[in-house]
Structure 1
Amino acid sequence: MTQADDRILETLADSDLTLSPRVLAANTDYSRHYISARLGELRDADLVDRVDEGLYVISDRGLAYLEGELSADELEKDE
């Protein structure tokens, strides 16, 4: 997990909206390309769900991570 991953998850959780990499980039100070790459990793870890082409929401697992119910170490073990 990176600092960007935390920012992406927090932005998705705080907005409670379906967001694109472009919107996430505008709200996190990371590039759209970098956000897209990180979203792929977050999706592989089941922390975000892709609801349509280029549109993402935070998953229940992502919320559990943000709430401290799931640690980064546990995520790495699942890989």
Structure 2
Amino acid sequence: MTIWDDRILEFIEENGSGSPGELEKSGFFQISRSQISRRLRRLKEKGMLQHLGNGVYVITPTGEEYLTGDLNAEELSDTEEENGAASA
């Protein structure tokens, strides 16, 4: 998790949804649109965002738990890695 991940989750929670273009235009991020897109995909892989199509993402209950401090992202990434290794 990076500071940008936290900001992306906060933005999407506050706005109900978000796309790379919306996040870039917000002026809230000091990273490129392609970097925003990569972070969105990574947050989706961790189960914190759901992709609705056409580049639009919404926050999931897992993402909300992370923002409230009820979820440790390190534990989540370990679980994701274990699941990836088991299915490989």
Give the alignment's TM-score, normalised by structure 2. 0.81
Which residue number corresponds to residue 20 of structure 1? Answer: 19
- TM alignment of 1:1-79, pairs within 5 A: 1-16=1-16, 18-27=17-26, 28-29=28-29, 30-79=31-80
CA root-mean-square deviation: 1.1
Deviation at 1:75, TM superposition (A): 1.9
- Alpha-carbon distance between aligned partners in 1 of 2:54 and 2:47, rounded to the nearest angstrom: 17
Question: What percent identity do the matched residue pairs reach?
Answer: 40
Question: What is the DSSP-based 3-state SS (H/G/I as helix, E as strand, rest coil) of the residue aligned with 2:47?
Answer: coil
Give the alignment's TM-score, normalised by structure 1. 0.90
20-29 or 42-51, larger mean C-alpha shift:
20-29
* Letter in structure 1 aligned against 2:25: A
Deviation at 1:14, TM superposition (A): 1.1
* Letter in structure 1 aligned against 2:14: D
- Alpha-carbon distance between aligned partners in 2 of 1:49 and 1:78, rounded to the nearest angstrom: 18
* Letter in structure 2 aligned against 1:10: E
Structure whose alpha-carbon radius of gyration is higher: 2
Give the gaps of 5 or more residues in structure 1: none
Question: What is the DSSP-based 3-state SS (H/G/I as helix, E as strand, rest coil) of the residue aligned with 1:57?
Answer: strand
* Letter in structure 2 aligned against 1:2: T
Moved over 4 A (4+): none
* Letter in structure 2 aligned against 1:20: S
- Alpha-carbon distance between aligned partners in 1 of 2:57 and 2:73, rounded to the nearest angstrom: 21
Give the gaps of 5 or more residues in structure 2: 81-88
